[in-house]
Structure formats: structure tokens, C-alpha cells
């Protein structure tokens, strides 16, 4: 949850949108008194123009009209919906049903604690909700199985998975379904930035922060864990929770922890204040370039998407580019006719998904060393991380504390069917 300042504006570098059924995030926002809003127009607006780029030409573009009149925008939206339906047909409805079915299964994780088990493994957690099979084959195989048209998979589905996960339709079916859900309607964000949820929850908790200090080793010494940091400090605790991906950090465990080898997918987010070069896209004017340029799966394409974040005037616009590799200045100078400011961020954003997926355990040592990010191999979002974290919290309570302590816990959970929050895990 980082922010970027460019052109006098602050933008979120990632994790900028939330699904309408992300009930934990909604609960956090309500708890902290945060104001929610639709995300920026570049990420969830029917009037935003879309182009699908194959590296040489736009294979599909929606209608683009420069008008602020609501009626005109509504007409353009209807025309574009018709054009999309005309190209992809009833496969769009099948795709929608696939996503809706997956979301409905995921909603089981919000059932009341009395009806919801505590899970020691990700496999158990997924099987209970009916989601495990989606991790055993690719998204492409899942969509072929429900008879989606090859054109829809090759174009629109590919564009979505490349934008949301930086990967192709060969990701696992569950990660793919989550990616598709993130392109639907009703998306929202926190006014002023989603980072306020994490910051607010930390500030409202009874915790001691040790910022700019990394843990180098975690050792189990029989009755407690010893944590040693890069600042040559040592900490003792009876329960340790790892809440960061272990794939690119060098934490030594004693005894050794066994987790499946996993590679992180890096997303390079490049923010540019300037103006796109229409000649790069084979066009005459900047106005002809869609506000969101998605791309097909081609290793020679240097970016996965380009989107407009804010247009200051016809010669000054802020863009966000996602790519799998860093964008060099020479490459940017070919894509842009002018660059006033450029900011780059390299994210180890999510796992590199494959099918069938293998999952690390929530309990790393059979004692009280827990790993929240084990769930990321199923899907990686703010909400799935919150769901996994809640399960780990319940797991700690059930294994470490007495039944009486479990019943009296005041950790907060949320049910989408309830009118108010309740305080039992």
C-alpha cells in the first residue's frame, strides 16, 4: 500500500480497488470512520474507453467521445456494451456466471463463527468452501470447460488477468476468477487512499511497532520463540506470526520450516506525467488513444497496460503503466512524445500462479509459528489476506488459549447478513 506523488497529485501505486463484497474491508472502513467512494475513472467507469493492443494495432476499441454530459456518456456506455456483446456474444454471460459462482463460494468465509470451522491448512479451507478444485487446473481450462469462446479468452480475459495479476490465462482457475471479479461493477476505494485502513487498524491496536527493522531469524527454544533482528536486537514471544511472503526474504528458521518453493510475480508500476505518442500506436492524435490500453499475451510486448489517471489539460496527463520488466528511459521516450515526470516502483506483488497449486501450511512448525501468506497461492488480494489472517487469529485462539478465553475473546468479525458487527470468533 504505497502512494506516489506526481503532478501535484497523490496516487496509490497498487491495491487501489476493492470489490463490493469485500466485507472485511467494508467493516474496517466503517470501524475507522473512513469515507468510501468509487475508484478513479481509469479503473471503474463505463464511460472510460478501452483498447486491446496486440503490439501492432488495436484489435478492438470501444467508442470514445469527449463529452461531460451525463446523457451523452450514458449513450456511449450503452453503445459500447452492445459492441462488446456483439464481439463476444453469450460467452460474456457464461463468464459472469462463473465469477458469480466463485464469489458465492467465497462468501462462506463470512458465515458466523459457530458455522465456520477453524482451518489448519489452506487445502482444508478451500475444500470446505468448494474452491479447491479451481486451484487444480488453469483458468483457460476452466473457461474452455464452460464453453467460453476462444476469442473472449484470448482477448478480454487475457487483458484482465494481465492487468490484475500481470500473468496469462495459464494462472490457476481460482486466481483467475478473483482477477475477473476485480474487473466488474460496483468497485470502491477509500477516499484519500486504501492505505488508511492498514494505518488506522494499526493505530487503533495495542501494538508496539519496530519500523525499518527486519527479522533475520526465528528460533523455537522449547517454551518460547527468539526473534533476532537486523539491528542486533532480540525479542522473545510465545506465539510468532509471519505476515509477509517468505519467497524473497532471508529469515532463518530453527528448526527449519518446510514450505513449497514459490516465485513471486513482479509488477513494475511506472507513473508518467506527460503525453503519449500517437505514432507509437499507429494513430494520428492523442485523442484517438483509448484511456485504458490493455494488451494480448505476447512476450515481445513491453507493457501489460497503460491507463489514464488524471488529465490536467490536452497536453498534460498522468498515466500509470504496468509491465513485467522495468521500463527503460529509451522505451518510455518511444511511447511518450513528452515526459515531465517519471516515477517507478517494483512490486513483488503476488505469487506466480500455476496449476495445480501447492500450499504452505498455516502452522510452520507444529507449535505456534504461523504463516498468514500461505493463502496467497490461492489468490492474492487485500480481502483474501484479511480472510486468511482472521483464520490464523482463530487458529491461535483455539490452539493456545483455553476454551474460556476463546469464548470471551473480543476480536471482531463481520457477517454480511448481520446489521451490526459482532465480537466473537
Tens digits of per-residue pLDDT, 251-276? Answer: 999 999 989 999 999 999 999 999 99
In this predicted structure, what is the pLDDT of residue 39?
A: 67
20-29 average pLDDT score: 93
Residue 284 has pLDDT above 80, yes or no: yes
Question: Using alpha carbons only, what angle is made at residue 164 by residues 345 and 245, rounded to the nearest 5 degrees?
Answer: 60
How confident is the model over 30-66, as pLDDT tens digits? Answer: 999 999 988 655 444 455 899 999 999 999 999 887 7
352, three cell numbers? 506466480
Residue 342 burial class via C-beta count within 10 angstroms: exposed 0-12, middle 13-18, buried 19 and up: middle
Q: Is the peptide bond preceding residue 356 cis, with omega within 30 degrees of 0?
A: yes
pLDDT of residue 338 exceeding 70 = yes
Residue 81, pLDDT > 70, answer yes
Mean pLDDT of 384-398: 96
| Position 407 pLDDT exceeds 60 | no
Q: What confidence score (pLDDT) does residue 413 get?
A: 45
Given a cut of 50, whether residue 368 has pLDDT beyond it is: yes
- pLDDT at site 66: 75
Q: How many C-beta atoms lie closer than 10 Å to residue 184's C-beta? A: 16
Alpha-carbon gap, residue 46 to 64, rounded angstroms: 11
- Confidence grade of residue 117 (pLDDT, cut at 50, 70, 90): very high
Mean pLDDT throughout 100-115? 96
The pLDDT confidence band at residue 418, using thresholds 50, 70 and 90, is: very low
Q: Which residues of 35-53 are buried (b: 16+ CB within 10 A; e: fewer)?
A: eeeebbbbbbbebbbbbbb
Q: What is the pLDDT of residue 177?
A: 97
Q: Which pLDDT value is given to residue 42?
A: 43
Amino acid at each position: 500500500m504505497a502512494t506516489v506523488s506526481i503532478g501535484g497529485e497523490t496516487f496509490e501505486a497498487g491495491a487501489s480497488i476493492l470489490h463490493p463484497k469485500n466485507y472485511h474491508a467494508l467493516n474496517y472502513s466503517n470501524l475507522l470512520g473512513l469515507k468510501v467512494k468509487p475508484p478513479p475513472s481509469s479503473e471503474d467507469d463505463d464511460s472510460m474507453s478501452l483498447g486491446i493492443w496486440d503490439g501492432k494495432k488495436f484489435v478492438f476499441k470501444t467508442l470514445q467521445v469527449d463529452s461531460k454530459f451525463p446523457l451523452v456518456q450514458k449513450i456511449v456506455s450503452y453503445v459500447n456494451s452492445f459492441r462488446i456483446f456483439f464481439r463476444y456474444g453469450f460467452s460474456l454471460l457464461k463468464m459472469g456466471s462463473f465469477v458469480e459462482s466463485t464469489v458465492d463460494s467465497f462468501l462462506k468465509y463470512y458465515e458466523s463463527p459457530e458455522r465456520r470451522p477453524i482451518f489448519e491448512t489452506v487445502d482444508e479451507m478451500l475444500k470446505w468452501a468448494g474452491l479447491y478444485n479451481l486451484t487444480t487446473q488453469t483458468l483457460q481450462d476452466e473457461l474452455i470447460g464452460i464453453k467460453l469462446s476462444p476469442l473472449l479468452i484470448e482477448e478480454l480475459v487475457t487483458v484482465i488477468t494481465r492487468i490484475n495479476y500481470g500473468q496469462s490465462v495459464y494462472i490457476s482457475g481460482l486466481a483467475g476468477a478473483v482477477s475477473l471479479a476485480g474487473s466488474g461493477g460496483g468497485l470502491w476505494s477509500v477516499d484519500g487512499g486504501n492505505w488508511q485502513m492498514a494505518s488506522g487498524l494499526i493505530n487503533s491496536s495495542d501494538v508496539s511497532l519496530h519500523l525499518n527493522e527486519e527479522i533475520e531469524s526465528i528460533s523455537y527454544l522449547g517454551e518460547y520463540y527468539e526473534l533476532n533482528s537486523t539491528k542486533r536486537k532480540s525479542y522473545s514471544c510465545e506465539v510468532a506470526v509471519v505476515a509477509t511472503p517468505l519467497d524473497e526474504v532471508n529469515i532463518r528458521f530453527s528448526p527449519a520450516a518446510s514450505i513449497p518453493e514459490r516465485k513471486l510475480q513482479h509488477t513494475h508500476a511506472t507513473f508518467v506525467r506527460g503525453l503519449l505518442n500517437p505514432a507509437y500506436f499507429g494513430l494520428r492524435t492523442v485523442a484517438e488513444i483509448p484511456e485504458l490500453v490493455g494488451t494480448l499475451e505476447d512476450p515481445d510486448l513491453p507493457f501489460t497496460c497503460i491507463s489514464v489517471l488524471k488529465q490536467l489539460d490536452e497536453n498534460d496527463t498522468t498515466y500509470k503503466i504496468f509491465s513485467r520488466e522495468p521500463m527503460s528511459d529509451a522505451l518510455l521516450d518511444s511511447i511518450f512524445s513528452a515526459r515531465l515526470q517519471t516515477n517507478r516502483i517494483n512490486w513483488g506483488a503476488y505469487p506466480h500462479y500455476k496449476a495445480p497449486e501447492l500450499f504452505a501450511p498455516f502452522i510452520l512448525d507444529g507449535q505456534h509459528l504461523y504463516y498468514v501468506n500461505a493463502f496467497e497461492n490461492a489468490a492474492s488480494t487485500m480481502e483474501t489476506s484479511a480472510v486468511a489472517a482472521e483464520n490464523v487469529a482463530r487458529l491461535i485462539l483455539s490452539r493456545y488459549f483455553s476454551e474460556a478465553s476463546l469464548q470471551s475473546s473480543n476480536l471482531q468479525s463481520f457477517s454480511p447478513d448481520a446489521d451490526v458487527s459482532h465480537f466473537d470468533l
